[in-house]
Structure 1
Amino acid sequence: MERLPSDVIIGIDLGTTNSCAALAVGDGQVKLIPYKGGEYTIPSIFAIDDKGHELIGQEAKRQWQLNPRNTLYATKRLIGRAPKDDVVESVQRSVQYRVHAGDLNDVALDCHGRSFHVPEVSAKILGKIRDVASDHLGIPVKRAVVTVPAYFTDRQRQAVKEAGTLVDLEVVRIINEPTAAALAYGIGKRLDQRVLVYDLGGGTFDVSIIEIRDRVFEVKATGGDIFLGGLDFDNAVIGYVLDDFRRKHGIDLSSDPVAMQRIKDLAERTKIDLSARTEAPFSIPFITMTAQGQPLNMDLRFDRTLLEALTHHLVDRSIEIMAGVMVDAGVGAADIDEVMLVGGQTRMPIIQDRLTRYFGRPPSKGVHPDEAVAIGAALYGWSLRETSDLRIQLLDVIPMAIGIEQAGGTMHVVFPRNASIPNARTIAATNAVDGQRELVVRIFQGDHGLTAQNELLGEFTFSGVRPCRAGEVRLEIAFEVNVEGILSMSARDLDTGRQMRTTVRVTSS
């Protein structure tokens, strides 16, 4: 590889199950950064073994079956989440490690007698990717563009930035995964197209409709579900084989962590096999013992029809979300020039069949489903460098409304869903009671009319309000969402000129 400048910015696809990194080297050329054995993906797994050694990536995955309680995976689903969240409860049911409330109104994970906040685990994975990239490129890597699901909230985006800070990796920009994939598809082709990106990865699902005009990429609408991905297809298989074994032998394996890990591994492998074959065996010798000490095997056959029957509700859900995003963008099937498939789960034939039927033609094979996001992030990183020969204009949107709490707990929307970013709005405010000296604004994100059903992003306290009779103080609150979808606020007393500004910090209340 030619000599690289010291200010390189790599692109990182920080995935739920696997992560990937790439570097653009000018003129639209991108090189994926190889990991061990020529693989380009690093498993997003962190573990601590019996001797107390920290393991990341392939090393963590290798010992997963023997050490399931102390192997942390799929943690991206928990980043930036409040502990009371129903998603947290769902994750706990499907993983072998312990999930519990952290002390920052967040989620903590137990591993080998230690407790980790989710950004700490993401930081370890980011640190591993940075080290692999530094070793491969022969220069220290200090800056990256990191991708997130389009449907991530402000709070989740902040948590990813925090993860970078923990390992001294400057996250120069966060961009949405479908947008990054569109960059990988469109850069250098002088396109004038409207594309739909259907991104079904290991843990999350996103749909974005993006208009590409040469180097201008304008997102018209986005939507998704950060609890819909390949893991849920695996869990459907796991549930079926557990029920089958319980029926045949009267034994519930779900409380046996080693057996569950063996089943989980085979469920994923079988699902992948059934994309290329129509049937596959599901056999695990000596999965458990009878009460009399006789070994029992798990032995059944799976076919593609059965897999499709077990997961049709997941495919249906993705199509429903896609249809909703098309309504938001004001487009029909005939208005879409290309459908792009991103994420490993899109290799499942039934997904490609459903999309072919919906649009009347097969999806594009224009990008590699596992690599497009990292490639797009790398191209965007190249464009941010001062000496770059590549200028890209990204016009993205926020995935869910952002607003403030009104009396009675209703949501006053400041930025509606799919509002373009960057964006700024102001609203007028006043004192509610006589002599009030501070104004507390609670900010939420979500599309429900009641704030209790939405995600609390944080609280902003404007102190130093002049004590006056109720309704006499004239305040102006300004909200600004930057290109990364991260919110900052300021408030100004229109009569005194006093001003305060903050980036919304997640509350610990």
Structure 2
Amino acid sequence: MHKEPIIGIDLGTTNSCAAIVEDSGNVKLIPYKGGEYTIPSIFAIDDKGNELIGFEAKRQWQLNPRNTVYGSKRLVGVNYSSEVVGTMKKAVAYNMRAGTKNDVTLDVGKKEFSLQEISAKILGKIRDVASNYLKTPIKRAVVTVPAYFNDRQRQSVKDAGKLIDLEVVRIINEPTAAALAYGVGKTLKEKVVIYDLGGGTFDVSIIEIRDRVFEVKATGGDVFLGGIDFDNAIIHHVLKDFAAKTGIDLATDPVAMQRIKDLAERTKIDLSAREEVPFNIPFITMTAQGQPLNIEMKFTRKMLEQLTNQLVDRTLQMVARVLVDSGLSTKDIDEVMLVGGQTRMPVVQDRLTKFFGKPPSKGVHPDEAVAIGAALYAHSLEDNTNLRIQLLDVIPMAIGLERGDGGFHVVFPRNASIPNAKQLLATTSIDNQTELAMRIYQGDHDTVARNDLLGEFTFSGIMPAKAGTVNVEIIFDVSVEGILTMRAKDPATGREMKTTVRVTQS
């Protein structure tokens, strides 16, 4: 008897989705009650202390904005001191503060939660929906992450699975999963661009498909660019317009903000099909004299395009960079795939058509491709599978160590293929030194201060001797999931040294 199935999970910033390959070989999205295939990635605690996840959390969001957590994927594995946190604080009503490891802790309904716990709640909900639908317990999953997630963010997703006893068998990149959804079973020989603009993150990957081999040539992205930012551009415009007309700043009123947020998202979606839509919210607030005030405006598609122009520009600059990294020109690209709900915006499609000289392909469903690809990959890992897929992926940004002058010594360059291992020979710098400490960073900048600190590795058990006479061989190993492990040995004796890793936070 084979083990219970492995499902594929797309753990998204705004919506999540799961899929499975059935015994017949067909891929099936796992439906939620009411026939929906996606579950909002929202967690809340209501005034009675009940935990709500998904649609239940979304339904009460307007009335309970302070205890409703959304967009939390943007904070996973992030330092509390980073810019991302400052930007998020302005945009959300829930409270965040520094955790013990200078990570982010959220206060929700008189309790505190780490980001891993929030991710675990959402993963748990998806697993329960899948278990109920498949009538079998689900204990293993392939979970997708943005290609541009760093080592710590990837590790956080694995840890979230551990919290609920869900074995994350493999983490794969979202654009790579979408390429699998497009290419598996088609015996293709193509170079494709996956342009993935989701709710909270943007990725672009160039992938060469040779039948069942999916080789990522280059990848890039921005984990702080997505549909939420297009909504925020509308919200910002509405607040400015209302303040100019009435002198009232609605940004300090969480319930008013929530009503504006909801309508902003609806307006953005409507403008993909229409040229103009009304933006009306009755009784948004009161004057000092107790007169009710309404928001009454019109939005045109042109206005939305002007407000979000620089967001689309940022994605295309990244597409250009990734093309250069891959050594390919636009003429070498056979297909451009669109993934993520925000790619439904007509201007995104127009700009890509101009950039590549041909319209994007309709070969994958923008909301479902990532979960489908994850399920196909999960199926290829099963014991009794007849599907063999070879994934050759890359790391999204360089990994290296701090040099004495604060410079960045690159061990693995950006777009280095994974799995990958490198050896470095280090030596002691003071007499009778018995420990060697190294700070490891990941990022695209020349100075470590601008990159993310992954941790501080201390190797102990070095033979005490004169400075420079003892060598230590350090092996850096990046797994197929883009996660780094390190070990050190004494080349003279071949003895492995003890490593302690402090994921120190800057």
- Which of 150, 153, 158 is 1:153 aligned to? 150
1:376 pairs with 2:373: yes
Q: CA RMSD in A?
A: 1.2
* Distance verdict in 2 for CA 1:76–1:36, change over 3 Å: same
User: What does residue 401 of structure 1 align with?
Assistant: 398
Matched ranges for 1:52-201 at <5 A: 52-201=49-198
Which residue matches 1:202? 199
How far apart are residue 505 of structure 1 and its match? Answer: 6.1
- For 1:46, the equivalent position in structure 2 comes to 43
Amino acid in structure 2 at the alignment position of 1:396: D
Q: Which of 205, 208, 213 is matched with 2:210 structurally?
A: 213
Of 482, 489, 492, the residue aligned with 1:495 is: 492
Runs of 4+ in 1 over 2 A off after TM superposition: 4-7, 500-509
**Kept in 1: contact 2:285–2:293 (CA 8 A):** yes
**Which position in structure 2 is the counterpart of 1:268?**
265
State the AA in 1 paired with 2:251.
S
Q: Which amino acid aligns with 1:291?
A: A
What does 1:329-478 correspond to in 2, within 5 Å?
Answer: 329-478=326-475
Distance 1:31 1:507 in 2: 42
The 1-side partners of 2:484 and 2:456 are apart by 12
Task: Give the share of equivalent positions with the same residue, in percent.
Answer: 70
Aligned residue for 2:137, secondary structure, equals coil
For 1:39 and 1:312, locate their aligned partners in 2 and report how far apart those are by CA, in whole Å. 32
Provide the C-alpha distance between the structure 1 equivalents of 2:83 and 2:465, rounded to a whole number of angstroms: 43
Amino acid at match of 1:124: K
SS in 1 for 2:260: helix
Q: Secondary structure at the match of 1:168?
A: coil
Match of 1:427, as an amino acid? L
CA pair 149-315 structure 1, distance change in 2 beyond 3 A: same
Rounded to whole Å, the distance in 2 between the matches of 1:122 and 1:5 is 29
Aligned-partner Cα distance in 1 for 2:288–2:256:
16
Please say which of residues 80-89 and 489-498 is displaced more in the overlay.
489-498
Per-residue deviation at 1:503?
9.3
Residue 320 to residue 501, structure 1, CA distance change in 2 (3 Å): farther
CA distance in 2, matches of 1:436, 1:200: 50
In the other structure, the counterpart of 2:233 is 236
Q: CA deviation at 1:36?
A: 2.0
Give the whole-Å Cα distance in 2 for the aligned partners of 1:500 and 1:35. 50
Deviations 1:343-391 (A, max 9, x none): 0000000000001111111100000000000000000000001110100
Alpha-carbon distance in 2 for matches of 1:324, 1:9: 36
- Structure 2 gaps of 5+ residues are none
User: Relative to structure 1, is the Cα distance of residues 508 and 236 closer, same or farther in structure 2, using a 3 angstrom cutoff?
Assistant: closer
Report the CA distance shift for 1:99/1:290 in structure 2 as closer, same or farther (over 3 A).
same
Q: Which amino acid aligns with 1:23?
A: I
- Following TM superposition, by how much is the alpha carbon of 1:182 offset from its aligned partner in structure 2, in angstroms? 0.0
TM-score under structure 1 normalisation? 0.98
Mapped partners of 1:114, 1:282: distance in 2: 36
Alpha-carbon distance change, 212 to 223 in structure 1, aligned in 2, over 3 angstroms = same
Cα distance per residue 1:37-93 (max 9 Å; x no partner): 100000000000000000000000000000000000000000000110001111111
- 1:481 — aligned with what? 478
Which residues of structure 1 form unaligned runs of 5+?
Answer: none
Match of 2:405, SS state, is helix
